[in-house]
Structure 1
Amino acid sequence: MRTETVDDRLAVRLGALRGERGWSLDDLASRTGISRSTLSRLERGEISPTAALLGRLCTAYERTMSALLAEVEAAPAELVRADDQPVWRDEASGFTRRLISPPRPGLRGEVVEGRLRPGADITYEAPPVPGLEQHVWVLDGTLELTDDGRRHEIGAGECLRFRLWGGTRFRNPGPEPVRYAVFVVLP
């Protein structure tokens, strides 16, 4: 088994930063003056960036080099203990979110558990990353999920899979709470 290096994590992070902004390789090339082929090779981890290249990328991504490197220097724990999974509650909307498997350099997926009380209704106007892959698996109850205008009713044990291009709406039609897992995979 090959050990993941800082360069491996940096390559993944550079690709993720570009994806978060919805930029193509051509867009980034025009912003940095770095060739499309070099950017592609950097993101695939085939070459390591020079300080000059990294400086130009940091300018495009509006972060310092030290901030970028701090994001990739130490790999987070592989095992995420239940007590270390952050929980966020929005009491006003009736939504609870537990981050089961947080983002990690070198990995493209994460797992989130959501809970909605009956009648809870959450709308997201746009995807955080266009083309984001999601798998929504309902564990208990019924979830009404609208993806880019398409409405789906998902029952316990069922899974909806899609790429996120537009807005989404998560609604619990009731009468019971709904608990579901969202598997998120970066494009």
Structure 2
Amino acid sequence: MSNMVDPLVGQIADRVRTERERRRWTLARLAEASGVSQAMISRIERGESSPTAVVLGKLSAAFQLSVSSLLALAEGTPGDTDGGVGVRRGDEAAEWRDPATGYRRRQITSPRFPAEIAEIHLPAGARVPYPAAAFAFVRQVVWVLDGHLTFHDGDSVHELDAGDTIELGEPTSRVFANTTEAACRYAVVLTRGTQP
């Protein structure tokens, strides 16, 4: 799979550009707001570079959207066009892969559903930090399905095993880390709040 292009790269490129233009922001303004270089944003918007989870976190924070929202909007989820009940088979759900860590994220719900649910596979040894602003405007629960997750919630560190959940409070910087030699799988469930 190393030579395959992630099918979501073009969709993420379109979504980032659309969100930036909707706000009438220049590349420089988005770079300032996110801490991501103009050159990197430009490469992402042209579909020349797949953003890492850290970069997606910074961009979503600048847009005041959750990472789930940014990816769900990019995916254009099947079964979401008629406003009714849509069945999606497991192999139809788009999966995004972080090129830096191998972290994989699959959006379970469509953008029209009132809560967002994503399934995450965190490889052994992977560490994914997000800025506090990535958690603005959302209420979120993390539910460990398999393996062990070391979750940094600001200055607090929580060791979570399969079946454990943590409900997140006020936005703070957070780190999802797998310090073990086995993969970890968890679900993120969030409700959307006020958006810009």
Provide TM-score, normalisation by structure 2.
0.52
Aligned to 1:100: 108
Asked if residue 167 in structure 1 is aligned to residue 173 in structure 2, the reply is yes
Aligned pair 1:145/2:172, yes or no? Answer: no
List runs of 5+ in structure 1 lacking aligned partners: 1-20, 22-71
Q: Matches of 1:112 and 1:75 in 2, distance apart? A: 20
Q: Distance in 2 between matches of 1:160 and 1:91?
A: 27
Higher strand fraction (1 or 2): 1
Q: CA deviation at 1:93?
A: 1.1
1:118 to 2:118 alignment: no
**Structure 1 stretches of at least 4 aligned residues deviating more than 3 Å after TM superposition:** none
Contact 1:131–1:163 under 8 Å retained in 2:
no
Is contact 1:127-1:164 (8 Å) kept? no
Aligned length: 116
What per-residue deviation string (whole Å, max 9, x for no partner) do you get for residues 50-106 of structure 1? xxxxxxxxxxxxxxxxxxxxxx985375333222211011142120111111321xx
The amino acid of 1:110's aligned partner reads: E
Does structure 1 conserve the Cα–Cα contact (< 8 Å) formed by 2:150 and 2:157?
yes
Q: For the residues of structure 1 that align with 2:84 and 2:92, how far apart are their CA atoms?
A: 12
Find the aligned partners of 1:103 and 1:163 in 2 and give their Cα distance: 23
C-alpha separation between the residues in 1 aligned to 2:133 and 2:85?
Answer: 27
* Cα distance in 1 between the residues matched to 2:89 and 2:81: 22
Matched residues in 2 for 1:145 and 1:114: separation? 14
Larger Rg: 1
8 Å Cα contact 1:134/1:164 also seen in 2: no
- Indicate whether 1:158 and 2:150 are aligned: no
Asked if 1:84 corresponds to 2:92, the answer is yes
